[in-house]
Structure 1
Amino acid sequence: MPSPLVVLSHLRWDFVYQRPQHVLSRLAATRPVFVVEEPVHADGSPRLEAIDAALGVTVLRPHTPVGEPGFSDAQLDVVAPLVRRWAVETEALGACDAWVYTPLATPLLDAVEPRAVVYDCMDELSAFDHAPAGLLDRERDLLGRADLVFTGGPSLYRAKKDRHSSVHCFPSSVDAAHFGQARPGAPALDEPADQRDLAHPRLGFFGVIDERLDRDVVAALAAAHPEWQVVMVGPVVKIDPAELPQAPNLHWLGGKTYDELPAYLAGWDVCLLPFARNRSTEFISPTKTLEYFAAERPVVSTPITDVADPYGDIVRLADTPAAFVGACEAALDAGDADRQRRTEAMRAVLARTSWDATAAAMGRLLDAASRAPSAHPPTPTHSSTPARATSTL
């Protein structure tokens, strides 16, 4: 029986359903998973709130009187004893493994004393405008303690592969059946009320709306074609919502649940990846790329590396607001032959990946590391790559 897994995460389980939820919910089929989230502020004595988040997954949410956000040193001074006490008192825990999403939580490893440690690196967190001080030092500590490093895309793999002896590239995958509900010709989904009355064509995006969004591109789309409806689905974080562009045909619909997304996607004529090209997007590998593919919708993106390199023959790429407008025009005007070629290429990509396969491969590496935590880590490998549609992998 695999060891219980203690996860240290800066992302809340009930925020946006993404890579951590996909991977951890699948790992929970064979081992109990405990997710320690960032603390929330609450008066009174510090405590851990236990939440049954999914089958086999328990979220441990610290409540502390400390005012500082995240896994700051002041918070860690309070949270570490809570986690240590929980680890001692939890009979089901025993010898555990650890899975870390944020280097800032590295000191909490001492509270659970794991046999094996995984660093699942989704982003180059230090590239964000609001990156906490000391993040790079903590990451250096984490790389020294980790038995395995997983990266969320090939750009991050290249950035980390020489910093640890066992780095494995696991690009984000897709639940093709879930987003396949939005395919043309699939049984019709009920149109969401806040999208139902919008005219076509509709150009849509879903995801977190933050400093990675190219607001100039979004504004240009709305201004160039007042007859287009630009639909932006997702929570706004780390930026002032008042600074988002506004137009009668630009619709900021807010965050939606994972289950709601296919119904929005089914009503779009073009899917958008309007990411800014800055330090915060240098290493991102957007999960939504393959989710758009599963819906078999045309996709237009700015040329971020982990979209342009593997999928440049499927996704239309544009590096300026004007070019992005032109690429969307081309997507809407594309003939049947072009649409069919791109759709077949999307299907070929999806046939080679799934969250089930990704989580299983990660689990096998973790099991091996847990059985022999003192063994010298293996030579760095590229465990998985986002295959080009034309490859024969």
Structure 2
Amino acid sequence: MKQVGPDLICLSHLRWNFVFQRPNHLMSRFAQEKRVYFVEEPVFDDAPPRLETKHVEANLTIVVPHLTTGTDQEASLAQQRRLIGSLVREQDIRQPILWIYTPMSLPIAADVEPSVVVYDCMDELSAFRGAPPALRERERELFSRADLVFTGGQSLYEAKRAQHPSVHAFPSSVDAAHFARAREGVEDPEDQRGVARPRLGFFGVIDERMDLELIARVADERPDFQIVMLGPVVKIDPASLPQRPNIHWLGQKSYKDLPAYLGGWDVAIMPFALNESTRFISPTKTLEYLAAGKPVVSTAIRDVVTPYGERKAVHIADATTFVAAVEAALAEPKEARLAIADEMVSATSWDKTWRSMSKLINEALQTKRSAVVRTEGNVPCSTI
């Protein structure tokens, strides 16, 4: 495979094998044309500091720093910085694209000499539970170093665009062909097979963004509705999950299996709480649900209301109207619904998003190279 442009080092707060989402889609595509090193947050054990590397695709390497248990934050950053430096030397990585998902990782890349710095701001991390107090200051520093800032949605773009001269909105996209398999009558997974109908389904991370009271309320108002919840429980006590005979917590599922679960749902739901942690989210699952051909009901997340609610692709509801919205979704004509869904899904793809991002990166590279040439051309003769 011919290498196109410099290598890419991605610093992520999300683990590659957590939930297959934006970083996975983008890095897999960049790996089609360049070496990609996906650096996760550290894990701690009793061994000396080291790097664990794993090749998951031909050009894609997952890098996990292992630090000694008990290492304090300052020493942890210093050790990661040294480990990343050793990776750059051993792999002969020269002037890579430095792609950052969390500003908190900025110090560990201090010795990397990037050709371009990209901040892919997919969420407002400072609004999440347990966010480090220093995150906002680190983000200001990252804005000062970044050449490009991408945002995971329109509302996040509006919040960030005044903080950097080159901010670009890239709402989460979709692998339409993958989720369209749900329309093909796929076999119901074993742990869902015994669940009665109608089924209301959700997949994704189950954390402080989830409106657990709403889920319980829907289950109580309509005991005949079977609510299927897929995904890891993170940052909240699993004991806080409402337990009802018609709520089914089935755990995390692999990305490849999601269409099979979706295929057995009657309505796909997004029961998000409306709070600081959901103020700027742009749920990837919106388009995935639509690609699967399912009617969708969501709470009033801003980036769902516009454009999906306004285009009648998604039913928008609150706690008092959610059941009625599900009933309306179940009753709506399938042909008209699919026409709207297909129109919205066809407008984007992860391939299109990746190509657009690549174009901006290449333009930034060219601009910086041209600036270097101009600067070198202006060196006084006496210094040559």
With normalisation by structure 1, the TM-score equals 0.91
Task: Give secondary structure in 2 for the equivalent of 1:309.
Answer: helix
Q: Report Cα offsets for 1:81-125 as digits up to 9, x if no partner.
A: 11111112212x122110000000011222221111000001000
2:310 equivalent to 1:315? no
Q: Report Cα offsets for 1:17-53 as digits up to 9, x if no partner.
A: 0000001100111111001110001112100001112
2:44 equivalent to 1:41? yes
How far did 1:226 drift? 1.1
Could you say if the C-alpha distance between residues 221 and 49 of structure 1 is closer, same or farther in structure 2, counting changes exceeding 3 Å? same
Could you say if the C-alpha distance between residues 326 and 68 of structure 1 is closer, same or farther in structure 2, counting changes exceeding 3 Å? farther
2:371 equivalent to 1:373? no
Partners of 1:130 and 1:75 in 2: CA distance:
18
How far did 1:287 drift? 0.2
Of the two structures, which has the highest relative contact order with CA contacts closer than 8 Å and spacing of 6 or more?
1
How far did 1:216 drift? 1.1
Confirm or deny: 8 A CA contact 1:147 1:373 kept in the other structure: no
Confirm or deny: 8 A CA contact 1:97 1:370 kept in the other structure: no
The alignment of Structure 1 onto Structure 2 pairs a total of residues equal to 366
Confirm or deny: 8 A CA contact 1:207 1:234 kept in the other structure: yes
Q: Report Cα offsets for 1:111-156 as digits up to 9, x if no partner.
A: 2211110000010001112111200010001000000000010000
Partners of 1:374 and 1:128 in 2: CA distance:
38
Partners of 1:373 and 1:197 in 2: CA distance:
59
2:23 equivalent to 1:20? yes
How far did 1:73 drift? 3.5
Task: Look up the equivalent residue of 1:21 and give its one-letter code.
Answer: N
Q: Of Structure 1 and Structure 2, which has the larger fraction of its residues in helix?
A: 2
Q: Where do 1:1-393 residues align within 5 Å?
A: 1-67=4-70, 72-91=73-92, 93-183=93-183, 186=184, 188-312=185-309, 313-319=312-318, 321-334=319-332, 336=333, 339-373=334-368
Runs of 5+ in structure 2 lacking a partner? 372-384
Runs of 5+ in structure 1 lacking a partner? 377-393
Partners of 1:38 and 1:24 in 2: CA distance:
16
Identity percentage over the alignment? 53
Confirm or deny: 8 A CA contact 1:220 1:325 kept in the other structure: no
Where do 4+ consecutive residues of structure 1 move more than 6 Å?
none
Confirm or deny: 8 A CA contact 2:116 2:364 kept in the other structure: yes
Task: Look up the equivalent residue of 1:28 and give its one-letter code.
Answer: A
Confirm or deny: 8 A CA contact 1:213 1:276 kept in the other structure: yes
How far did 1:192 drift? 0.8
With normalisation by structure 2, the TM-score equals 0.93
Q: Report Cα offsets for 1:204-227 as digits up to 9, x if no partner.
A: 000000000001111011111111
Task: Look up the equivalent residue of 2:192 and give its one-letter code.
Answer: Q
